[in-house]
Amino acid sequence: MHRPWFPVLGILSLVALALSACGPRVAARVGEARAALEAARAAGAPMRAAEGFQAAERALKESETLLAAGDSSSLLEADYRAAVAAATAHSATTTAKLSTDLEKAVASAQAAKQEAERTRAEVDRLQVQLRTVEETARAAQARGERVENQVSEIRKQVAAASAPILPTYLRYVVKRGDNLQRIAARPEIYRDANQWPRLYEANRDMIGRDRTLKVGQVLLVPK
Domain total in the chain = 2
Say if residue 106 is in the same domain as residue 150: yes
Residue 18 has a pLDDT of: 43
Say if residue 75 is in the same domain as residue 138: yes
Q: What domain range includes position 215?
A: 168-223
Residue 147 has a pLDDT of: 82
Q: How far apart are CA 109 and CA 155, in angstroms?
A: 14
Say if residue 148 is in the same domain as residue 183: no
Residue 108 has a pLDDT of: 87
Say if residue 153 is in the same domain as residue 193: no
In this prediction the pTM is: 0.43
* Whether pLDDT at 193 is above 60: yes
Task: Encode pLDDT of 156-173 as tens digits.
Answer: 776 666 655 556 889 999
Region 50-73: mean pLDDT is: 89
- Select from 133, 148, 166 the last residue of a domain: 166
Say if residue 106 is in the same domain as residue 176: no
Work out the mean pLDDT of the chain and round it to a whole number: 84
Region 62-90: mean pLDDT is: 88
